[in-house]
Amino acid sequence: MITTHSLSAGSFSELAEGTGDRVVVRELREAQLSKHMMLLHVVAGAAAGIDPQTPETDAFSAGYQLLSQVQAADPAVVARLLGLPHIGSWAHDCLACLDNGSPPDFGYLAAAAVSAAIQAGLRFEVDVPVRGGRVPLPGLGCLAVPGADEWVRLSSDGARLQAGEHIEVACAALIPDADSVPATPHWEGTPLVRAEADGQSWEVLLEIADRYLDRYALPMLTILPPAEVANWRQRIQSAWELLVRQHGWAAGSIGEGVSVLVPLVPRSDLDSATSPAAFGAIATSLPPSVVSMAETLIHEFQHNKLSGLMDMLPLIEPSGERGYAPWREDPRPMAGLLQGVYAFAGIVHFWDVQRHIKTAPDDVLRANVLYERWRLTIEFVTDTLLGHGVLTPTGVSFVTALRERGRRGESGPVPAEAIEIAREVALDNWLTWQLRHTALDAAGVAGLAAAFRRGEPSGRQQLPAAWIDDDTRKIDSMTRSRLLNLRYQEPQRYRELTAEEIPELAAADVHLIRGDASAAVAAYREGLVAEPDPVAWIGLALAVHRLPADPARPVLTEQLPLLFELHACLAGQGVHADPLDVVAWLA
Amino acid sequence: MSLQQHELNSVIPDLRTLSLERLAELGDSALAHSIALYRERLKETGVPLSSFNARI
């Protein structure tokens, strides 16, 4: 009788609050091992069902048999291997191939088995696939077999590995590259980072060769010269020190759960990612600072944890619905909202600590804004998720607990300036998103315009139908938004830029950026009377929000696409209304 | 569901202590339900089976 994994209520609660210690993560990791074994069972069944057998299925059978022998000799080695994200991702890929009718990479298991057999010191002889003159051994490194064709025979007496007829390497040398052993001919150990801080250690591989961990939106860095490896080591070590000393809630779980970092080819910005198929792996370009490395690890491991939990307990029902994700510019599916808000729950913890350990005024401002901005996000997105009815009963419990955690005050008040900036950049993003992606029924808008012209009160009118439609309007407010964000991202740069002329900005935007809200409102009004412009509408809404409490605020926040369309419709009919008159009418 | 419950049973079969030999002998039916749920969840929640959900 096979039972299922269970999760204690305490572990569930910890995860729902966005945390979860080593013990909780171990529960998730053990469930992942079972998941990988379950998927391996599917792949084994598929391999056995192929008739006649092929070199790939023969390699799979030999690999499975070898792995079974290793398990009998040293079960921990096999458990460690099968728990690797490489194996999860490979098995996931095999399932995808089986589902779409393409041949799975059965032979990969033979190389994985060799990796385990080498670690256990077993004798073996098995054929493994060669890719680009190399044989990747998951968790260890790559064996270079120049001149080999598609397959090479690997054999070992437990002490030395023979590859084909001419290559022989001591098994003891076939280990990850911890920067402590001399180079071995034909062997490229996967870079291993051993980070230490205050007696806590974390070992993590920098995977640069395994094709099943090269599946992110950006390609894996497959060449990492020693100087770059040293950079990664240094950044990881420093981030680990920060995590252990200041963010103990995250350090323990990351140390327990993250076994692989996948360096990504860098672009202009920091990119990072995880996959539900590869628990324990975080892909990232090299974060530019120690703080951003620590933040990235926390952010991405939140995704890992949630994916692991969702493998065990379904939290969300199938749904085609999409909604607003405050960290994105495009509409996102509900499952994406859940993943995102969970990541930001971790980020809120992170910045709540950081805002107290920073001392330079600009750093303090930045940390407080980031804390406040993402704290607001939790409330907004959990309300969306709970309001759409897409969560399972377990999911409702989970998201409710997450929301409550976000609502609780953390460690002291946030300075007023940081609150103002956080709320304004959040509002800017929300208004821009609405104008960009909210479509409205044109006939309904025309009906409202007619009522406006007749002087009828808006309360009697039915509002036009609205729905999400990608990029229904082109909105280019990037320069203004970038400057608003620069206030906390790079305060010094912001001060320098705003002290000069800003030729890319309209006069109204300049007033807004320089903090003269009344002048900005007047200028936006004047501009909008002359020409309907969604970017100016966003500016007007932001400027009005800077003025003392105004009854126009709610309608500007929630109905900006309708205000724009109504105003534009009137302009099309030759009625160049004051935008605030339209706002007052609809309010 | 209440957070006060002591344990939440998951949909993942506990195979940690199962030998690979025994795993190979398991028929299709023993894990079929969990496997079907896994495949279904990935499809339904929008995580493509063939590629990574690299961005949220």
A158-194 pLDDT, tens digit each: 999 999 989 999 999 999 999 877 889 999 999 999 9
DSSP string computed for A257-326: H--EEEEBPP-SS--EE--TTSTTEEEE---SSHHHHHHHHHHHHHHHHHHHHHHHS--B-----EE--T
- Looking at A203, A237, A271, the residue that finishes a domain is A237
Assigned domain for A420 exists: no
Closest C-alpha to A93, from A83, A81, A110, A108: A108
Q: Are both A154 and A194 inside the same structural domain?
A: yes
Q: Are both A97 and A159 inside the same structural domain?
A: yes
pLDDT band at A511 (very low <50, low <70, confident <90, very high): very high
Q: Are both A34 and A153 inside the same structural domain?
A: yes
pLDDT band at B44 (very low <50, low <70, confident <90, very high): low
Asked whether the beta carbons of residue A276 and residue B47 sit closer than 8 angstroms, the reply is: yes
Instruction: Over range A477-484, report the average pLDDT.
Output: 91
DSSP state of A465: P
Parallel/antiparallel/unpaired status of strands A260-263 and A281-284: parallel
Q: What is the number of alpha carbons within 13 Å of residue A257 lying toward its C-beta? A: 36
- Looking at A237, A256, A273, the residue that finishes a domain is A237
Domain range for A72 is 9-237
Cβ atoms within 10 Å, residue A148: 20
Asked whether the beta carbons of residue A34 and residue B13 sit closer than 8 angstroms, the reply is: yes
Assigned domain for A167 exists: yes
Assigned domain for A103 exists: yes
Assigned domain for A203 exists: yes
Task: For tokens 């950049």, name the residue.
Answer: A425
Across the interface, which of A99, A313, A335 has its CB nearest the CB of B46?
A335
Asked if the model's pLDDT at residue A482 lies above 50, the reply is yes
DSSP string computed for A75-92: HHHHHHHHTSHHHHHHHH
Interface of B with A in 1-56 (CB under 8 A): 1-16, 18-21, 23-24, 26, 28, 30-31, 34-35, 37-39, 41-42, 44-56
- Looking at A237, A265, A290, the residue that finishes a domain is A237
Helix (H) or strand (E) holding A124: strand A124-129
pLDDT band at A116 (very low <50, low <70, confident <90, very high): very high
Asked if the model's pLDDT at residue B51 lies above 90, the reply is no
Q: Are both A36 and A157 inside the same structural domain?
A: yes
Cα of A480 to nearest chain B Cα, Å = 25
Contact (CB, 8 A) for A370 and A421: no
DSSP state of A464: P
Cis peptide before A52 (omega within 30 of 0): yes
Assigned domain for A549 exists: yes
Asked whether the beta carbons of residue A34 and residue B53 sit closer than 8 angstroms, the reply is: no
Asked if the model's pLDDT at residue A121 lies above 60, the reply is yes
DSSP state of A218: S
Contact (CB, 8 A) for A167 and A184: no
Which chain B positions have a beta carbon within 8 Å of A345's beta carbon? none
Q: Are both A385 and A444 inside the same structural domain?
A: no
Residue of higher predicted confidence among A329 and A34: A34
Alpha carbon distance A274, A282 (integer Å): 5
Closest C-alpha to A446, from A560, A536, A572, A297: A572
Instruction: Over range A274-299, report the average pLDDT.
Output: 95
Contact (CB, 8 A) for A567 and A438: no
Alpha carbon distance A47, A61 (integer Å): 8
Assigned domain for A272 exists: no
Instruction: Over range A125-142, report the average pLDDT.
Output: 96
Across the interface, which of B8, B13, B35 has its CB nearest the CB of A7?
B8
Q: Are both A175 and A78 inside the same structural domain?
A: yes
Assigned domain for A281 exists: no
pLDDT digits (tens, 9 = 90+) for A422-478: 999 999 999 999 999 999 999 999 999 999 999 999 888 899 999 999 999 999 888
Q: Are both A45 and A156 inside the same structural domain?
A: yes
Q: Are both A534 and A454 inside the same structural domain?
A: yes
Q: Are both A343 and A465 inside the same structural domain?
A: no
Q: What is the pTM of this model?
A: 0.93
Asked whether the beta carbons of residue B50 and residue A339 sit closer than 8 angstroms, the reply is: no
Q: Are both A440 and A522 inside the same structural domain?
A: yes
Which chain B positions have a beta carbon within 8 Å of A393's beta carbon? 1
Q: Are both A224 and A323 inside the same structural domain?
A: no
Contact (CB, 8 A) for A415 and A446: no
Closest C-alpha to A355, from A370, A368, A342: A368
Alpha carbon distance A447, A499 (integer Å): 46
Across the interface, which of B4, B10, B42 has its CB nearest the CB of A312?
B10
Assigned domain for A2 exists: no
DSSP string computed for A397-453: HHHHHHHHHHHS--SSPPPHHHHHHHHHHHHHHHHHHHHHHEEE-HHHHHHHHHHHH
pLDDT digits (tens, 9 = 90+) for B1-26: 445 457 899 999 999 999 999 999 98
Angle between helix A491-499 and A361-387 (nearest 10): 100
Across the interface, which of B2, B34, B54 has its CB nearest the CB of A275?
B54
Angle between helix A334-357 and A248-257 (nearest 10): 130
Alpha carbon distance A52, B3 (integer Å): 52
The number of domains in chain A is 3
What pLDDT does A409 receive? 63
